[in-house]
Amino acid sequence: MPAARMAARAGPVNVLFLCTHNSARSILAEAVLNHIGGGRFRAYSAGSSPRPNQQPNPLGLAALAEAGIPTAGLCSKSWHAFAGPQAPAMDLVITVCDSAAGETCPVWPGHPATAHWGYADPSAGAAPDAVKLAAFRRTLAAIRERLERLCALPEEQLRPDVLQATARRLATA
């Protein structure tokens, strides 16, 4: 492994969370990690195929607001926004839905570590909003629990040469 790849990180760990529409799980993960990351992490989210005029799910935004997590600036976007030369370099790309995990992703600049952390879609189905809001709260809690474990890791487990193994271990923890 080249010495530069094993060297200490100069800035935060950039993490991109992906799902299909970028309206629920990936938005939750982006907001939570930016809230609890303590400057060690910078989170982004995107979708493989967001619908035209896609917006974050209002129930997801409500669950975040209830939890005291800022929602300003959250928006749905395509993963292509992060595949070009002007995009921030990602250290870690995490799919949070099974559909996006099975898709062929763009070639990410810098070849970041990858992992899949699957969560059920809290917006799926025709349930009343109260039932879906409860599902968003449960999904938010599950995402937050895993991200708290990520944030608690020592720096040596976030080095580029071990980050993929670290992130994949967290998927099963």
Confidence of residue 162 (pLDDT cuts 50, 70, 90): very high
CATH of domain 11-160: 3.40.50.2300
Whether the predicted pLDDT of 3 surpasses 50: no
Concatenate the DSSP letters of all residues of 130-146 into one string.
Answer: HHHHHHHHHHHHHHHHH
Name the 3-class secondary structure at 46.
strand
* pLDDT tens sequence across 81-96: 888 888 899 999 999 9
What's the rounded mean pLDDT across residues 19-42? Answer: 96
**Paired strand residues for 116:** 95
The pLDDT tens digits for 50-60 are 888 889 999 99
Whole-Å CA distances, 59 to 109, 113, 137: 33, 31, 9
Domain ranges of the chain: 11-160
DSSP 102-131: TS-----TT--EEEE-----TT-SS--HHH
Distance CA 107, CA 136 (A): 31
Q: Is the pLDDT of residue 71 over 60?
A: yes
